[in-house]
Structures are given as C-alpha cells and as structure tokens.
Amino acid sequence: MLKKVFCMLIIINLLIMNIRIVNADDENEESSKSNIVEVTNQTKDEPTLNSRIAVAIDRKSGKIIWGKNENKRSAMASTTKIMTAIILIEKSDLNKTITVSAKAAGTGGSRLGLKKDDKITLKDLLYGLMLKSGNDAAVVIAENVGGSVEGFAELMNAKARELGLDNTHYVTPHGLDDPEHYTTAYELAKLADYALKNETFAKVVNTQNYTVTINGYPKEISNTNELLGYLNGVNGVKTGFTNNAGRCLVTSINREGFEVITVVLQADTKDIRTQDSIKLIEYVYENYELVNIKDIVEEKFKNWCLINKDRIQVNKCKYNNMDLYITDLDNDIIPIKKSEKDNINIDINCLYYFEAPVEEGTIIGSLKVDLDGNTIDMVEIKNAYTVEKKDIWDYFSLFAVELLN
C-alpha cells in the first residue's frame, strides 16, 4: 500500500512539473551575472550562436546587421507583451483603476500575483506586464481595453497589419503557446523599434525596479531582463519563455547614438540566451560603425558636377540653364563594417544630350552607392528647372543679330 501511495505521489509531482513547464513563462528566476562578464571579455569575431533564431538591426536605418533564420516564424512567448503594452498605451488612460476578474486572476505562468476583485491602475498593470512579465496583468489589460482576450487579439493583429508585420499573428496578450500565435525575429525587432519611439514604453522597459499598488498596498517588482543595468547601453526590452519559443530576449542598446535592437529566440537555457545576446551585441559594436553616406554622396556629386555639368547639351534651348540635383537616399546614415568603410564606391551615369524643352524634374541620370560590389542605395539625378525651347522670336532675334554683324 505504501508503495502505491509513493508511486502516486511521484506521478502527481511529475504531472504538476509538466503542467508548469508547458504553461510557464517563468522569467523571475535569478540570472547569472558571471556569464555577462565572461562573454563580454571574449573575442568579438563573427558570432556563433546556439539560439536557433536571432537578428540584430540598426534602429536608424532599419537595416539588418546580422541574422540567423531571422525571417522564420516562431512562437514568441512573453515578447508578445511588447505589442500588449503598446496597444494599452495608445488606447487607454493609464490612470484608470481596474477591478481584476476571476479569469484574469486565474491565469497561469508568470504572474504579478493578482486576485479576484483586486484594484489596480492600468499604469501599474503596465509595469507588472513588462517588468514582472505578469500573464494575469496581460489578461486584465486585454479584458479592459479589448473587451475580451479575443477582442484584444483583434486589436493586436490590426496593429501588426498597420506596421507591415506580415509574418506576425496574435491569439493571446501574454504569449502562452498556441500554433496560431507567432512572429519572426526580424518583425519582433521592428515592433520593438516602433514601441521604443513611445516615451512611456521606453521609460517602462528601462526600469529595473518599481513599486505597484494593489488595493492601496505597495508591492515591489523587479525587471526580468538580466542585461538591464549590467551591460553597457542596454535600455530594454523584454524576456520570454515557453516550451515552443524557448528562452527569448529582445534587447535595445544605445552606445553613443548608435542604437541597435537584438532578438534571440529558441535558446535552450537562460544562460544561452544571455550569452548569445551579449555575443551579438558586442560583435555589432566592435565591428560596425555608423557612416554618413549622404555626406559622401553629396561631396562626390558636387565634384562630378564641376567636371561634367557643362558637357550636358540641350539642343534648341533658349538658355542652357540645366541645374542638377539628386533625390533622397533611402537612409542618410547606415551601419558599415569598419573594415569595409574604404570600399564604398559612388558610380554616376548620365545622359549628355537632350532636345528642348526639358521639363523640371526630368531624370537625366542615376547615382549608385556600392559596397564591395553590392548596391546599397541608388538615387536619381534630375534637373531643377525647365529648360525652355526656342520660339520663332528667338530665331528672328538671332537672325537679326547675324545681319547686323
């Protein structure tokens, strides 16, 4: 009999552990800071990451600096809450006090610790969502902003479409696994970039410790982001974990105006996601710098005009007043590998003969920016003013001048 009871206890314990693993978004365990120091002291060669999916993007240009399966769909766990937070901020009065429902209070996984009929402001729910990664907070927000979890998911998907996130779809506000709940590392980085432009969001995700008030009583919470406050320049954004998503981390970094977002998904352990994130961050800042392509292009074009502008002929024109300009670059400043900065090449092609009239804005050529043989931008060369065609009176005047001479 004792053996049977013992076996039953073991089975129940295993079932409880399994349920916890399946439903968990457990981001509240203490992270190992020793790993941060260890990785930052490693060489900054091309990173080899154990995480199955990763990306680093430059915020200024939106360009991908480094990627690994960055366009592959994946579960996203609590990085979902980036979208939950931005919907809340954009559509609600954060000072409003909310009463917690039984459904929200019963939400599993990582929790703020809310109970049925608790009173809490939307602002404190926002901090509980992004620092403590509270799934219960996410459901309270969804019910009060979207009317229900399903209604809130509609708002999330509408925002995803607005932002052009074509490989992103939401089912829940918290990110517990669902086959129809997915994104990509690249689109997650794009979403984080958008969210960080909101001052409230940026302030929240850059907060290490905060005091929420529930039913008038204070409760201290800490940010689950292990890099915040420990790695140079890190100012957000969000952690996550479920079985399908693995360990996830979206990180925002700003070092001397060079702003980067990194994403790692499907890491097997928290240590791996921490190390992979640091490797990627340090690789970017060690090997890349922001280069003002606009200045290089304008200087090159100016010098080209000094030599070539007078070579452009317009037949039958009143005045050959061709004044040239170039259209805007896609990005004035882009990240370029330090070792490749001297390999930037500007190639200009232009027509040199026209028949009047030449209308204002006529394309007369193109300017291409190449880096190691790859085109990174191309702009058009246009004329600034209409070059008019001679009329009969112009020809009569010329004829009269010739007679007088």
Task: Give the residue numbers annotated as catalytic, written as ranges.
Answer: 78, 81, 133
Residue 253 has pLDDT above 80, yes or no: yes
- Number of structural domains (the chain) is 2
Same domain, yes or no, for 195 and 330? no
- Look at residue 219 and tell me if it is in a domain: yes
271 and 328 assigned to the same domain: no
pLDDT of residue 29: 45
- Is residue 274 domain-shared with residue 327, that is, in the same domain? no
Whether residue 12 is contained in a domain is answered as: no
Please tell me which residue, 79 or 25, carries the higher pLDDT value. Answer: 79
Does the residue 301 lie in any domain? no
CA proximity to 370, closest of 405, 340, 346, 395: 346
- Percent of the chain at pLDDT > 90 equals 80
Q: Confirm whether 10 is domain-assigned.
A: no
Q: In terms of domains, do 127 and 243 share one?
A: yes
Q: What is the CATH number of the domain that holds 357?
A: 2.60.410.10
Judge whether residue 57 has pLDDT over 60.
Answer: yes
**Rounded to an integer, what distance in angstroms lies between the CA atom of residue 388 and that of residue 252?**
54
Domain of residue 41, residue span: 31-290
Same domain, 85 and 217: yes
Residue 186, in any domain of the structure: yes
Look at residues 256, 290, 324 and tell me which one is the last residue of a structural domain: 290
CA dihedral 165, 89, 252, 204 (to 10 degrees): -160
pLDDT in tens, 155-183: 999 999 999 999 999 999 999 999 999 99
The side-by-side arrangement of strands in the sheet containing 64-68 is 64-68, 53-58, 258-267, 246-255, 234-242
Distance CA 384, CA 354 (A): 15
**What pLDDT, on the 0 to 100 scale, is given for residue 8?**
52
Per-residue pLDDT, averaged over 209-233, amounts to: 97
94 lies in the same domain as 239: yes
Same domain? 113 vs 40 = yes
Domain boundary residue, one of 221, 255, 290:
290
> Which phi and psi (to 5°) does residue 246 adopt?
70, -160
Asked if 326 contacts 301 with a C-beta cutoff of 8 angstroms, the reply is yes
Please give the residue that has the higher pLDDT: either 28 or 77: 77
Is residue 296 situated within a structural domain?
no
Contact 369, 297 (CB under 8 A): yes
Task: Identify the three-state secondary structure at position 288.
Answer: strand
pTM for the whole structure: 0.86
Any domain includes 142:
yes
Do 68 and 133 have their domain in common? yes
Q: What's the whole-number mean pLDDT along residues 359-379?
A: 94
Would 20 be classed as within a structural domain? no
Residue 179 and residue 216 share a domain: yes
DSSP letter at 358 equals B
Query: Do residues 343 and 275 both lie within one domain?
Result: no
CA distance 205 to 126: 10
Measured distance CA(203)–CA(94) in Å, rounded? 14
Task: Indicate the range of 5-14, 134-143, 259-268 predicted with least confidence.
Answer: 5-14
Same domain? For 280 and 328 the reply is no
Q: Are residues 273 and 335 in the same domain?
A: no
Whether 146 shows a pLDDT value over 70: the answer reads yes
Cβ(202)–Cβ(236) below 8 Å: yes
Q: At what angle do helices 122-130 and 135-146 cross, to 10 degrees?
A: 140
Domain CATH number, residue 87? 3.40.710.10
